[in-house]
């Protein structure tokens, strides 16, 4: 046994995360996505911006967006977003009020619109950096949303005024609230000033140093988007004071007003000035230029020297001890940027905040077995002027949970219009891609073929010009060739130096649909499977003829993709978009050649309107990787989510822990009763530790922890126990009180060893973060 444990530092692991009854769960990554219309505030003690709630797009009359219930933080020291998996949290909210509470030393949250019900909240919550706690004050203000909380640092009060008492859909009655409340750390206290600002929502308030007052400006007076008067108001703790209208008009010209995000005021704690951020309102696809003004002598003065990117806008603008910071940003195509999280202005110079890079519009994903990485093809880095939704392809490598850009916008490389088709060419040992550009004003449909060489996409001989638009791609392992289904319903195979050739008598029994028709190859049955879910049918090709199948039950009609997963026993289909374009589906099905079997996945509400377009399987780590696109309102930004799907049998509670605290690790290890369980940890996941072929039974598998000094410590710690008769194992581990551990993310995983000295199971990794 000692020989096995000593070999862990080099090559000795095995695992199977499948074949169990526990529900698999989608895990979102990267954690640093920006959501729209959420609440946020700055925590000066922990030096982090705290975000909660928000939606993935604007509300419209036709669709309701998914609302987030997750807490995110931006750490200004490491320049990265962190997803906080708290045990408790407020309900999913859009446009809640949030501010720093100087008495409780944490973030206060009030109100907001709950989930997708359009109902408003009057709950008060408090976040201490570790968990949320609902407070029960004696006095409770009326329900509201789209208001702002501001912290009066001199009187140590959180001030709340106005907002909307009903959801402001287009055509809704104007708001009437104009009440003033203050939070003293224990209770809400209503104030009764002689005068108050006119009712409005979507305004902003900040603390104004020098005058020691709360500064209120602008907002919307009705649901049609009409602005309130541009007159500032000042709160001194007893009364509201009406200011004078600034001479500086916030207009680019007389016809085009500045468009403002909901939070557009911030106090620079370095120069003690208030700033307003706005950008010119653009058309459907193009944002306008960003402008920054400073409040001086009862007027706005434009700050001319910072150079914002010409297409940068902000969804979040907040006060920090580092200056004023704006998060978000738009490309000219209208898409949120993935490589610029924010800009910081300290009163003199503009600084760009960079965090982990990630693709913002992945259109395809393929697993590169040769280099042990997943490739995501992103098409929204370099849009052509006046030609939105079309761009040169950017290729990203996913290594562990980190993205690395490999090829960015090469004009000689692939151009993406629509979704590129990708597979791994096992014969050549390289990822393989076919452009799937529809006929546009750029010319005829493209069928350009590409092969990845580790650095870039290399054009291949495509051959026959008779092929129409490629609809679906699969790799035939028995023939050793990719197969294409074209828009006329024919199959084509591809060989080096020969290009694409149509397979005789391969026309499908039905008319092809460019959205519905997707296919995958099942090597266990030597069949090509084509979904025809528009009518509930499946079609299989054995190399000579098509067979029409009508399984029952069957998944509902949808646009989705198919992927062969040996460990699941067939062809996997996950999610997709319903045929009526209004519902994104979250279910998962496996086709075993005889029937469809529905799988149970744990999915949270934020995937309510996420469409799975591409998935691939990482066989070494036993995980599925998915590239998802959200359903969206074309007038707003579009996000793409990247999810992984491990099959968990190890859980950690709590994921956030302070030094001196304790964590509990719960393992449910089916079929491992009586085996030795070894628990290990590290400070990262990539590249993992490969199992020796002997220990792995001839398979190539990865233990999902990074070899590091932390991992060496875990080896020496010797954390071992015996799996009980119910196939369970449980650990309670104290966290040492070491300040150097603050902010560290530690990953845990384990494995079982049977009496013959063979590894029986490798668990999924779980993440823990040590917080102040």
Percent of the chain with pLDDT over 70: 74
Residue 339 clears pLDDT 70, i.e. is over it: no
Residue 580 clears pLDDT 80, i.e. is over it: no
Structure tokens at 523: 């090597």
Give the model's pLDDT for residue 206: 95
Residue 595 clears pLDDT 80, i.e. is over it: yes
Give the model's pLDDT for residue 695: 66
Residue 438 CA: distances (Å) to CA of 158, 163, 412, 458, 519: 55, 47, 19, 21, 19
Alpha carbon of residue 96 to chain centroid: 21
Q: Distance (Å, rounded) from C-alpha 531 to C-alpha 591?
A: 10
Q: φ and ψ at 481, to 5 degrees?
A: -150, 145
Q: Which residues of 531-560 are buried (b: 16+ CB within 10 A; e: fewer)?
A: bbbbebbbbbbeeeebeebeeeebbebbbb
Residues 665 and 714 in one domain: yes
Tens of pLDDT, residue by residue over 534-565, are 566 899 999 999 999 989 888 887 777 899 98
55 neighbors 69 (Cβ within 8 angstroms):
no
Instruction: Write out the DSSP string of 49-105.
Output: EEEE--BSS---SS----B---EEEEETTTTEEEEE--SS-PPSEES-EEEEETTTT
Residues 672 and 638 in one domain: no
Residue 60 clears pLDDT 50, i.e. is over it: no
Give the model's pLDDT for residue 433: 93
Give the model's pLDDT for residue 313: 58
> 51 lies in a domain?
no
Torsion of Cα atoms, 720 then 723 then 729 then 734, to 10°: -20
Boundary (domain end) residue, out of 585, 616, 646: 646
Q: Distance (Å, rounded) from C-alpha 462 to C-alpha 460?
A: 6
Residue 588 CA: distances (Å) to CA of 181, 563, 568, 598: 48, 12, 11, 6
Specify the higher pLDDT residue, 240 or 419. 240
Q: Find out whether the peptide bond into 157 is cis, omega within 30 degrees of 0.
A: no
Q: By mean pLDDT, which of 48-57, 187-196, 357-366, 424-433 is the weakest?
A: 357-366
Q: Share the mean pLDDT of the chain.
A: 79
What confidence tier does 284 reach under pLDDT thresholds 50, 70, 90?
very low
Within 13 A of 707's CA, how many CA atoms are on the CB side? 13
What confidence tier does 437 reach under pLDDT thresholds 50, 70, 90?
low
pTM: 0.80
Q: Distance (Å, rounded) from C-alpha 416 to C-alpha 346?
A: 39
Q: Is 225 helix (H, G, I), strand (E, B) or coil?
A: coil
At a CB cut-off of 8 Å and minimum separation 6, what does 89 contact? 52, 69, 70, 71, 132
Residue 654 clears pLDDT 90, i.e. is over it: no
What confidence tier does 32 reach under pLDDT thresholds 50, 70, 90?
low
- DSSP code, position 133: E
> 49 lies in a domain?
no
Give the model's pLDDT for residue 396: 87
Within 13 A of 84's CA, how many CA atoms are on the CB side? 27
Q: Is 503 helix (H, G, I), strand (E, B) or coil?
A: coil
Mean pLDDT in residue range 151-166: 95
Give the model's pLDDT for residue 292: 86
Q: What is the CATH number of the domain that holds 759?
A: 2.20.130.20
Give the model's pLDDT for residue 43: 95
The domain of 661 spans 2-22+650-771
Residues 221 and 148 in one domain: yes
Residue 366 CA: distances (Å) to CA of 130, 473, 540, 563, 623: 37, 12, 23, 11, 13
Residues 690 and 562 in one domain: no
Residues 385 and 313 in one domain: no
Q: Distance (Å, rounded) from C-alpha 237 to C-alpha 214?
A: 9
Residue 739 clears pLDDT 90, i.e. is over it: no
15 neighbors 647 (Cβ within 8 angstroms):
no
Residue 298 clears pLDDT 50, i.e. is over it: yes
Q: By mean pLDDT, which of 110-124, 149-163, 228-242, 489-503 is the weakest?
A: 110-124
Mean pLDDT in residue range 712-725: 90
Structure tokens at 352: 């760009």
Residue 605 clears pLDDT 50, i.e. is over it: no
Q: Distance (Å, rounded) from C-alpha 750 to C-alpha 728?
A: 13
Q: Distance (Å, rounded) from C-alpha 35 to C-alpha 28?
A: 14
Instruction: Write out the DSSP string of 529-578.
Output: EEEETTTTEEEEE-SS-EEEE--SS-PPSEE--EEEEGGGTEEEEEEEEE
Chain position carrying tokens 């289904």: 485
> 36 lies in a domain?
no
Q: By mean pLDDT, which of 309-318, 532-541, 626-635, 643-652 is the weakest?
A: 626-635
- DSSP code, position 246: P
What domain count does the chain have?
3
Burial of 161 (0-12, 13-18, 19+ CB in 10 A): buried
Residues 304 and 253 in one domain: yes
183 neighbors 102 (Cβ within 8 angstroms):
no
Give the model's pLDDT for residue 277: 79
Tens of pLDDT, residue by residue over 244-275, are 999 887 754 333 344 444 468 999 988 999 99
Q: Which residues of 34-57 are buried (b: 16+ CB within 10 A; e: fewer)?
A: bbbbbbbbbbbebebbbbbbbbbb
Residues 679 and 732 in one domain: yes
Q: Distance (Å, rounded) from C-alpha 620 to C-alpha 212?
A: 60
Boundary (domain end) residue, out of 589, 619, 646: 646
Give the model's pLDDT for residue 12: 34
Mean pLDDT in residue range 274-303: 74
Residues 140 and 288 in one domain: yes
Mean pLDDT in residue range 311-339: 64
Specify the higher pLDDT residue, 101 or 488. 101
Mean pLDDT in residue range 616-625: 81
> 27 lies in a domain?
no
Residues 341 and 269 in one domain: yes
Residues 414 and 514 in one domain: yes
Q: φ and ψ at 231, to 5 degrees?
A: -105, 125
Structure tokens at 473: 């791609």
Residue 713 clears pLDDT 70, i.e. is over it: yes
Q: By mean pLDDT, which of 113-122, 549-558, 727-736 is the weakest?
A: 113-122
Q: What is the CATH number of the domain that holds 563?
A: 2.120.10.30
Sign of torsion over alpha carbons 553, 558, 564, 568: negative
Give the model's pLDDT for residue 221: 87
Of the candidates 341, 349, 394, 404, the residue with the CA atom closest to the CA atom of residue 372: 404
Rg (CA), the chain: 28
Q: By mean pLDDT, which of 89-98, 224-233, 572-581 is the weakest?
A: 572-581
From edge to edge, which strands make up the β-sheet containing 662-668? 650-653, 662-668, 728-734
Residue 512 CA: distances (Å) to CA of 279, 468, 516, 626: 45, 12, 8, 25
Residues 578 and 689 in one domain: no
Question: Cα(first)–Cα(last) distance of the chain, in Å?
Answer: 39
What confidence tier does 348 reach under pLDDT thresholds 50, 70, 90?
confident
Boundary (domain end) residue, out of 353, 379, 394: 353
Mean pLDDT in residue range 34-53: 87
- Highest mean pLDDT, choosing among 420-434, 444-458, 598-612: 420-434
Tens of pLDDT, residue by residue over 96-107, are 999 999 999 999
What confidence tier does 63 reach under pLDDT thresholds 50, 70, 90?
very low
Structure tokens at 622: 């036993």
Q: Distance (Å, rounded) from C-alpha 772 to C-alpha 753?
A: 37
Residue 356 clears pLDDT 70, i.e. is over it: no
Q: What is the CATH number of the domain that holds 146?
A: 2.120.10.80
SS3 labels along 392-442: EEEEEEEECCEEEEEECCCCCCCEECCCCEEEEECCCCEEEEECCECCECC
Give the model's pLDDT for residue 403: 82
492 neighbors 484 (Cβ within 8 angstroms):
yes
Within 13 A of 751's CA, how many CA atoms are on the CB side? 28
Q: Is 591 helix (H, G, I), strand (E, B) or coil?
A: strand
Residues 690 and 549 in one domain: no
Helices (H), 92-215: none
């Amino acid at each position: 046994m000692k020989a096995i444990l000593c070999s862990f530092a080099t090559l000795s692991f095995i695992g199977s995360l499948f074949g169990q009854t526990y529900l698999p769960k989608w895990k979102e990554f990267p954690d640093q996505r920006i959501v729209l219309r959420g609440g946020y505030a700055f925590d000066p003690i922990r030096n982090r911006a705290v975000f909660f709630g928000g939606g993935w797009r604007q509300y419209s009359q036709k669709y309701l967006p998914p609302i987030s219930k997750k807490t995110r933080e931006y750490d200004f020291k490491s320049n990265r977003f962190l997803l906080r998996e708290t045990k408790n949290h407020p309900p999913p909210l859009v446009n809640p009020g949030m501010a720093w509470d100087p008495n409780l030393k944490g973030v206060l949250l009030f109100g907001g619109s709950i989930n997708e019900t359009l109902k408003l909240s009057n709950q008060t919550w408090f976040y201490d950096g570790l968990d949320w706690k609902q407070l029960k004050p004696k006095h409770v203000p009326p329900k509201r949303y789209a208001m702002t909380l501001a912290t009066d640092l001199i009187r140590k009060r959180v001030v709340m005024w106005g907002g909307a008492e009903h959801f402001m859909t287009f055509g809704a009655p104007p708001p009437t609230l104009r009440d003033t409340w203050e939070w003293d750390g224990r209770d809400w206290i209503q104030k009764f000033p002689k005068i108050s600002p006119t009712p409005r929502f979507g305004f902003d308030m900040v603390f104004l140093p020098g005058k020691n007052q709360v500064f209120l400006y602008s907002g919307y007076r009705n649901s049609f988007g009409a602005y309130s008067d541009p007159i500032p108001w000042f709160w001194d703790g007893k009364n509201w004071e009406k200011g004078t209208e600034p001479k500086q008009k916030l207009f680019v010209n007389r016809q085009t007003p500045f468009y403002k995000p909901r939070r557009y005021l911030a106090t620079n704690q370095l120069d003690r000035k208030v700033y307003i951020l706005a950008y010119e309102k653009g058309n459907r696809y193009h944002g306008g230029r960003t402008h920054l003004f400073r409040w001086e002598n009862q007027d706005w003065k434009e700050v001319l020297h910072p150079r914002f990117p010409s297409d940068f806008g902000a969804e979040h603008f907040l006060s920090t001890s580092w200056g004023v910071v704006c998060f978000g940003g738009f490309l000219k195509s209208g898409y949120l940027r993935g490589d610029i999280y924010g800009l910081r202005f300290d009163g003199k110079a503009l600084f760009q905040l960079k965090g982990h890079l990630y693709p913002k519009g992945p259109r395809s994903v393929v697993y590169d077995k040769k280099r042990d990485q997943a490739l995501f093809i992103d098409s929204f880095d370099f849009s052509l002027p006046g030609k939105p939704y079309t761009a040169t392809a950017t290729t990203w490598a996913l290594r562990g949970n980190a993205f690395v850009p490999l090829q960015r916008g090469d004009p000689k490389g692939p151009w993406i219009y629509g979704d590129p088709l990708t597979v791994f060419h096992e014969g050549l040992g390289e990822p393989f891609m076919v452009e799937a550009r529809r006929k546009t004003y750029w010319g005829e449909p493209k069928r350009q073929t590409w092969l990845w060489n580790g650095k870039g996409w290399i054009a291949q001989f495509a051959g026959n010009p008779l092929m129409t638009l490629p609809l679906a791609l699969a790799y035939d392992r028995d023939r050793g060739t990719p197969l294409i289904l074209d828009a006329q319903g024919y199959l084509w195979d591809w060989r080096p130096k020969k290009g694409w050739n149509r397979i005789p008598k391969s026309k499908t029994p039905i008319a092809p649909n460019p959205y519905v028709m997707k296919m995958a190859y099942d090597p266990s049955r030597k069949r090509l499977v084509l979904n025809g879910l528009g009518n509930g049918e499946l079609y299989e090709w054995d190399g000579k003829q098509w067979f029409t199948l009508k399984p029952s039950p069957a998944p509902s009609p949808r646009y989705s993709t198919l992927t062969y997963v040996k460990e699941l026993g067939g062809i996997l289909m996950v999610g997709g978009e319903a045929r009526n374009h209004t519902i994104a589906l979250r279910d998962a099905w496996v086709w075993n050649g005889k029937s469809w079997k529905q799988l149970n996945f744990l999915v949270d509400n934020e995937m309510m309107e996420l469409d799975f377009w591409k998935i691939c399987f990482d066989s070494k780590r036993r995980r599925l990787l998915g590239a998802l696109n959200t359903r969206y309102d074309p007038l707003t930004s579009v996000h793409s989510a990247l999810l992984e799907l491990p099959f968990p049998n190890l859980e950690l509670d709590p994921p956030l822990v302070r030094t001196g605290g304790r964590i509990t690790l719960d393992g449910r290890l089916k079929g491992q009763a009586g085996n030795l369980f070894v628990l290990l940890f590290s400070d990262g996941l990539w590249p993992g530790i490969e199992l020796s072929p002997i220990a792995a039974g001839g398979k190539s598998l990865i233990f999902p922890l990074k070899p590091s000094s932390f991992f060496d410590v875990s080896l020496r710690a010797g954390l071992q126990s015996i799996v009980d008769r119910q196939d369970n194992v449980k650990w309670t581990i104290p966290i040492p009180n070491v300040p150097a551990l603050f902010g560290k993310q530690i990953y845990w995983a384990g494995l079982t060893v049977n009496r013959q000295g063979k590894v029986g199971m490798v668990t999924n990794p779980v993440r823990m973060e040590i917080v102040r």
